[in-house]
Amino acid sequence: MSKTQNNMKSEYLVEVKDLKQYFPIKTGFMQTTPLKAVDGVSFAIKPGETLGLVGESGCGKTTVGRSMLRLYTPTGGEVIYNGEQVNASTIKHMRKEMQMVFQDPYSSLNPRMTVEDIIGEPLDVYKLYSSKGDRRDKIIHLMELVGLNAEHATRYAHEFSGGQRQRIGIARALATDPKFIVCDEAVSALDVSIQAQVINMFEELQDKLGVAYLFIAHDLLVVHHISDRIAVMYLGRVVEIADADELNDKPMHPYTQSLLSAVPYPDPKMAKERKRIVLEGDVPSPLNMPTGCAFRTRCKYATERCAQECPSLTDRGNGHQVACWNK
């Protein structure tokens, strides 16, 4: 088993195969219905690459990130890191290599801990230092790496601004020297001017340390800027994956097309010339999913086939994968 896995180990750092994550929802007395938050998602990330994951709220993008790191126990499918399957027993040593940066820099840092302790905690867990002095040096190095003043190590999180807090969260994620970081809406809570600082830092860290990112966000301009490839999700499934520029220039799935056309573009002339493809209606409830293709209720190209069978991702050349019967 391990031999065949080693042979496959070549290209990808992280592979997600048919990942499924259902949550039981109480619908009556002693009755539950599965809410299919993620329903058969597959993708792969190369070392040092950034894969952007976009979609609207409730499409399951955050759940994908959390299931990959086993913050939830997946209902089905597998996650392979560096040729090794991620499961309940292997995750303990793997979390050293796979880390996460959370959206809200206010609630993701313990208010009773100093910055030194927050960043030092992963070092403690994995015993990554030889002496107290070594621990302190490592913390100072990490703080400098993310652009924090090392003199502030003894302060508490509330003494910092939103952007600085997010830097603390990133330093904590980098403490164990990971190869892969899930950034879950890591810049969404920040103001535009601060957001640009943090995005630049993510890019610099990637150049310096060679980490791969799964960059989950709803802001398409930001995702396009930072990502090498982008995956678009709709109601628990990936509908399109392509190279970032290719996806932006030639979106194929009708959902991606309307999503891109709906992004308000910060340029008055372009905004007036451009035609928005406005989708009718709302996203269906994941508890009551349409049969076949989940997007068909809002799709203007929908045919009978869309209602009966769910399309799977197929390659249309250049690694541009689309799940649509009509495109």
The binding site for other proteins (CB under 8 A) comprises 56-57, 161, 163-164, 191-197, 199-200, 203, 218, 220-222, 224-226, 244-245, 248, 258-259, 261-271, 276, 278-279, 282-283
Cβ-based nearer residue to other proteins, 9 or 274: 274
**DSSP track, 284-304:** PPGGGPPSSSTTGGG-TT--H
- Distance CA(153)–CA(144), nearest Å, equals 11
CB 295, min distance to other proteins, A: 11
Cβ-based nearer residue to other proteins, 180 or 255: 255
The encoded tokens of residue 156 equal 């508490």
SS3 content of the chain, % helix, strand, coil (to 5): 35, 25, 40
Q: Indicate the DSSP class of residue 9.
A: T
Cβ-based nearer residue to other proteins, 98 or 279: 279
Contacts 24+ apart (CB under 8 A), 310-314: 310/237, 313/42, 313/238, 313/240, 313/241
Cβ-based nearer residue to other proteins, 98 or 187: 187
CB 193, min distance to other proteins, A: 4
The encoded tokens of residue 318 equal 């250049």
CB 232, min distance to other proteins, A: 12
CB 215, min distance to other proteins, A: 12
Cβ-based nearer residue to other proteins, 175 or 216: 216
CB 251, min distance to other proteins, A: 13
